[in-house]
Structure 1
Amino acid sequence: MRSTWITPPRTFAAAAVVSAAACVVVPPSARGATAQVYYVSPTGSDSASGSKSAPWASMAHAQSVVQPGDTVYFRGGTYAYTRANSACASRTARVDAITLSRSGTAAAPIRYWAYPGETPVFDFTGMRDDCRIKGFDVTGDHLHLKGLEVKGVPQNNELNHESWGLWISGSHNTFELLDLYDNMGPGLFIQNGGGNLVLNSDSHDNYDAHSSGGAGENADGFGAHIPAGNAGNVFRGCRAWWNSDDGFDLIRAFSSVTIDNSWSWRNGYLPETSTAAGNGVGFKAGGYGGGYVEGGAKHTVRNAVAFANRASGIYANHHTVANDYFNNTSYANHPDFNMLGVAPDGTSTGLGVLRNNIAYGGTLTANTAGTDSSHNTWELNVTVSDSQFKSVSTSGWDAPRDADGSLPVLPAFRLSGSSTLVDQGTDVGLPYRGAAPDLGAFEAR
C-alpha cells in the first residue's frame, strides 16, 4: 500500500490555557472579562461563594447562578439523590432530579465539567419517587457536560416502560466522557433537539427490572427517538455493552442521526450474564414500530464494531428509507447485518446502502435482497478467517480510554499485514490509506 493518508483538511480551535492559581485547565471562552469559574463539592455548601476553597454543594445551585461562558468544576466524590425536584403528579408522570434549563450560546457554552483527575459520581439509587424518573433533564442549549458518572436511576413501579440516566430535549449540547451504568432504562436518551454530540461516552449494565413491557425490554445504552426538524445528532467514539435491551436504538427517529466510530457488544442479556433479556441488537438503526410511515429519516452507521450481541449486530428494524452503512465490522451476531425494511405498500424488503463492511462469525446477513450493496465481504471473492485479523478476541473492549478520551487501540478485528481485505473497499468519503479503503471499521496501519 502507499503510505499516503487521505483525509479532509483539519481546523483547530484555540488552545486552552492553564490557570496557575487554580491548577486547572480554563477553556478559551472562559477567559473573558465576565466569564466565571465555579466549583461544586459533595462537602460544599450552597451558601458558600462557589470558589475552589469554598465550593457549592449542588448542581441545582450552580445552574441558578451560571451565565453563558461560565465553567463549573465538580470535585470527585458521590452526589447522592433521594428525591426528585418536584412531586409525581401521577404514577406514570415524569420527574427529574436535576434540571439543566439555562442555556449558553454557540460562542459561550456553559460547561459542567469534572475537575481534572477526579470523578464526580451522580448516584440516583436512593430515589423513591413513584413515577418515571430522569436523572438529568437537559432542556437547555449549548451546554457541555464532561467527565461525569451517572448511575442507578430507578423505576419504582411496573406501570412504565423505563426511566433514564440523561433525558435530552435541548440542542447543540455536548456530552463528553460520561460513564452511564446501572440505570433502569437507557443511559442517555435524546428525545428532542438537534445538533447534539455524544462524544467518547460509555453506557453499560443498564437493566429495567420493573418495565411494564417486561423485565429488560427497554434499557438501551443510547437512544435517539427524535421528531422531524432536529437533524445533526451524533454519537461518536461511544461504547455500549451488557445493556438488557439494545446498545444503540434509533427507533422512531424522524431526523437523521449519525453513529460514528462506536462499539456495541453483549447486549440483550441480564448484565454480566448469559440470561436472555430484551431485544439484544448492537445498532438498531431506525424503524417506526413495524409498518410503513411517511417522512422517515436516513441514518448513518459507520466505522462501528458490533459483536456477540444476542440478536443482530446492525439492524434496519423495519426502516422505511435506505440508511448508509459504511466500513463496519460485525462479528458473531445473529445475524451480523439484518437489512429488513418496509416498502411503501407495507411489504417487507431489504433497505440499505452497504459499502466496505465485514460480516464474520454467527449468521452473516439477512434480508439483503433489494439493498444497494457492494464491496462487502459477503460479495467479494475473499475468504474471511481468523488469520485476516491481528486478533478476534471479544474481551478487553471495556479497557480504559486513551488519555485524550478516545477509544483504546486494541488488536482485535484490525486487519493483519497479510489480510486480503486490505484495499478491497470503495471510496465513500471517509479517510483511508493506500489505493482504496480497507474493509471493516479499522484501516490497516
Structure 2
Amino acid sequence: MAVKSLRFPAFILLAVLCAHSLGAATYVVSPSGKNTAAGTLAAPWKTLAHAATKARPGDTVEVRTGIYAERLLLTRSGTAQAPIIFRARSGETPVIDGAKLSTDSGWLPLFWLQGVSHVTIQGFELRNYYTAQKNRVPIGILINGSGTGVRLLNNHIHHLGTTYTGANGGDAHGIAIYGDENTPIRDLVIRGNRLHHLKLGSSEALVLNGNVTGFLVESNTVRACNNIGIDAIGHEDTCPDPAQDAARNGIIRLNTVYGINSYGNPAYGKNHSAGGIYVDGGRDILIEQNTVYDCDIGIELASEHAGESTSGVTVRKNLIHHNRIGGLFMGGYDTKRGRTEDCLIEENTFVENDTLRYGNGEIQLQFDVRDTIIQKNLIVTNTQSLVIGNSYTQNTGTTVDYTTLYTPAKPRWQWKNKSYSGLSAWRTASKQDTHSKVLSTRPKNLPTAP
C-alpha cells in the first residue's frame, strides 16, 4: 500500500522525547489500579498511557490480565544497554480492545512506536478494532520514523480491520513498519507473533515498507486474512530518498502462513491474488524454512512499479504446498510492472500447487524475470503435471537445474510462451534441467491438501 505521509490522529502525548535513567525499575499496570498509586505489584497503575509517561531507559512495565480500552503512543527510546520493555506479566494476558475506541482520523494504531529505539513490546493481545469508514486505517502495532533495536515478541493480533465496502480506500494492518525517514529503521526483530482474522483491504497483515534494513521476521503465524500475509515493499515513495526506499537486508524465516485469500475482499472482487509471503520491490532478503499453504499464491517476488525491481532475494528450504493459483510467482503481473532479477530459488519443496487449476504450474514466471537460478528443488505437481508456467517472452538469464520431479502424467513446461511435454523435449528445446530427474513413484511423507 502506497503511503507518502502519515496523518497522525489526535493522541494525547504519552511519552516525551528526552529522558535520563537513574536506575532500572519494574512497574505494574492493572485494570484495578490507580494512576495515583506507586506502580508496584501491590499498588499498580491503571493505564498503559500513564506508564508510558513514567518509563525511562532500563525500565520494565509489566501489564496484568484484563481489558484495556486505550491506545498507546511511545516516543521515548531506551538504549542498547537499557531498553524500555512493555510486556505481559508472566502467565497473564493483557488485552487491548479497540471496540469502544474512535476511528475518526487516518492512521489508527493501537500501539504506535514513533521514531523510537531499543523498545520491546511483548505478550499483548490486540483485538476488536474495526472501521467501516473510507481512508481510515486500523493497525495493531505501527512503527514509523527511524530507530534501532525494536522488538515485537509473542503478541496476538486478531479480529481487526476495515469493513469499508468500496474498491478503493479500505486498508488495515496487523503489524506495520514504515521507514518514512532518510535514516532507517534497523535491527528490527518481529518474532513469535500470531496474526489472524484480519480484514486488510488493499494492505497486508505484516508489512515492512520503505527505509527498513537489517530485519528479522521469524517464527510468526499469519492465517485467515483477506490479503497478503507477510510483505517487504519498496518504491512506494514511503521514504523521501528513493535510493533508500526499499525494505532490504532482512530475513523472513520459520514462519507459518496459511488461509490467505483475497477472493471477496472488496479491493479485489472475485480475484485470487494474495501471496502468503511477498517481496514487492524489496532487495537482498533471505526467505527460508517457512511453511506456506492454502494461500492464493505461496511466495511471490515481483515489483508493481514500472522500471523498478525485486532483486537479490534467496528463497531456500521452504515448504510451499496446496496454494490456489501457484506455488512461486516471479516477475510483474503485467507488462506495465517492474521486474525480478538476480534471485536464487533452491532446495524448496513444492507440492500440488495451483489447486484451482488456473494453469500456472508450481512455478510461474511472469513479465521480465532476469538472471535468476532455480535449482535443487523437489517438485510434485497435481494432475495438471505442469512444472513451470511462463507466458511472457521477457525471460532472460534464467537457469533451471537439479530438479527432483514427480508428476502424475507426463511432465509439462511452458517457457517463453511455448509448451513442452516430457523431460527430453524440454531439455532439448530449453537447455534447462540437464541434471534433473523424474521419479517413478510419488515421494512419501508429503503434506496433504488442507
TM bracket, shorter-chain basis:
0.5 to 0.7
- The answer (yes or no) to whether the contact 1:206–1:271 under 8 Å persists in 2 is no
Which residues of 2 match residues 397-412 of structure 1 at below 5 A?
Answer: none
Q: Which residue of 2 aligns with 1:72?
A: 61
**C-alpha distance 36-312 of structure 1, shift in aligned 2 (>3 A):** same
2:239 counterpart of 1:239? no
Q: Give me the whole-angstrom Cα distance separating, in 2, the residues matched to 1:105 and 1:198.
A: 18
Pick from 151, 170, 173 the counterpart of residue 150 of structure 2. Answer: 173
Q: Give me the whole-angstrom Cα distance separating, in 2, the residues matched to 1:154 and 1:244.
A: 14
Q: SS in structure 1 opposite 2:50? A: helix
- Residue 120 of structure 1 and its aligned partner are, at CA, apart by 0.4
- Residue 226 of structure 1 and its aligned partner are, at CA, apart by 2.3
Pick from 183, 186, 206 the counterpart of residue 198 of structure 2. Answer: 206
2:317 counterpart of 1:327? yes
Q: SS in structure 2 opposite 1:34? A: coil
Q: SS in structure 2 opposite 1:60? A: helix
Q: Give me the whole-angstrom Cα distance separating, in 2, the residues matched to 1:189 and 1:353.
A: 27
Q: Give me the whole-angstrom Cα distance separating, in 2, the residues matched to 1:349 and 1:72.
A: 44
Pick from 107, 114, 117 the counterpart of residue 81 of structure 2. Answer: 107
Q: Give me the whole-angstrom Cα distance separating, in 1, the residues matched to 2:214 and 2:45.
A: 35
- Residue 251 of structure 1 and its aligned partner are, at CA, apart by 2.2
- Residue 188 of structure 1 and its aligned partner are, at CA, apart by 0.4
Q: Which residue of 2 aligns with 1:191?
A: 178
Pick from 111, 136, 149 the counterpart of residue 136 of structure 1. Answer: 111
- The answer (yes or no) to whether the contact 2:120–2:152 under 8 Å persists in 1 is yes
Q: Which residue of 1 aligns with 2:285?
A: 299
Letter matched to residue 358 of structure 1: T
Q: Which residue of 1 aligns with 2:52?
A: 63
**Structure 1 moving runs of 4+ over 4 Å:** 269-272, 275-278, 341-351, 384-387
- Residue 339 of structure 1 and its aligned partner are, at CA, apart by 1.5
- Residue 350 of structure 1 and its aligned partner are, at CA, apart by 6.2
Alpha-carbon RMSD: 2.9
Per-residue deviation, residues 156-206 of structure 1 (Å, max 9, x unmatched): 51134x321111124211111000111211110111211110011111111
Q: Which residue of 2 aligns with 1:409?
A: none
**Structure of higher RCO (CA pairs closer than 8 Å, 6+ residues apart):** 1
Letter matched to residue 284 of structure 1: Y
Q: SS in structure 2 opposite 1:152? A: strand
Q: Give me the whole-angstrom Cα distance separating, in 2, the residues matched to 1:330 and 1:142.
A: 35
2:205 counterpart of 1:221? yes
Number of paired residues? 326
Pick from 89, 95, 100 the counterpart of residue 121 of structure 1. Answer: 95
**C-alpha distance 111-186 of structure 1, shift in aligned 2 (>3 A):** same
**C-alpha distance 345-282 of structure 1, shift in aligned 2 (>3 A):** closer
Stretches of structure 2 that go unaligned for 5 or more consecutive residues are 1-20, 162-171, 180-184, 235-244, 304-308, 355-361, 380-401, 408-440
Letter matched to residue 48 of structure 1: A
- The answer (yes or no) to whether the contact 2:288–2:316 under 8 Å persists in 1 is yes
- The answer (yes or no) to whether the contact 1:131–1:156 under 8 Å persists in 2 is no
**C-alpha distance 271-166 of structure 1, shift in aligned 2 (>3 A):** farther
Q: SS in structure 2 opposite 1:388? A: coil
Q: SS in structure 1 opposite 2:121? A: strand
Letter matched to residue 40 of structure 1: V
- Residue 305 of structure 1 and its aligned partner are, at CA, apart by 0.9
Letter matched to residue 356 of structure 1: E
Structure with greater strand share of residues: 2
Q: SS in structure 2 opposite 1:258? A: strand
Q: Give me the whole-angstrom Cα distance separating, in 2, the residues matched to 1:177 and 1:344.
A: 41
TM-score by length of 1: 0.67
TM-score by length of 2: 0.67
Q: SS in structure 2 opposite 1:136? A: strand
Q: Give me the whole-angstrom Cα distance separating, in 1, the residues matched to 2:198 and 2:442.
A: 32
Pick from 41, 46, 51 the counterpart of residue 40 of structure 2. Answer: 51
Per-residue deviation, residues 72-120 of structure 1 (Å, max 9, x unmatched): 1100011013xxxxxxxxxxxxxxx310111111011111110111100
2:340 counterpart of 1:339? no
**Identity, % of aligned pairs?**
21
**C-alpha distance 283-130 of structure 1, shift in aligned 2 (>3 A):** same
Pick from 267, 270, 273 the counterpart of residue 260 of structure 2. Answer: 267
2:367 counterpart of 1:383? no
Letter matched to residue 291 of structure 2: V
Q: Give me the whole-angstrom Cα distance separating, in 1, the residues matched to 2:67 and 2:405.
A: 52
Q: Which residue of 1 aligns with 2:348?
A: 357
Q: Give me the whole-angstrom Cα distance separating, in 2, the residues matched to 1:131 and 1:122.
A: 19
- The answer (yes or no) to whether the contact 2:279–2:310 under 8 Å persists in 1 is no
Q: Give me the whole-angstrom Cα distance separating, in 2, the residues matched to 1:204 and 1:278.
A: 18
- Residue 327 of structure 1 and its aligned partner are, at CA, apart by 0.7
**C-alpha distance 109-167 of structure 1, shift in aligned 2 (>3 A):** same
Q: Give me the whole-angstrom Cα distance separating, in 2, the residues matched to 1:70 and 1:134.
A: 23
Q: Give me the whole-angstrom Cα distance separating, in 2, the residues matched to 1:388 and 1:314.
A: 24
**C-alpha distance 35-261 of structure 1, shift in aligned 2 (>3 A):** same
Q: Give me the whole-angstrom Cα distance separating, in 2, the residues matched to 1:79 and 1:194.
A: 30
- Residue 267 of structure 1 and its aligned partner are, at CA, apart by 0.8
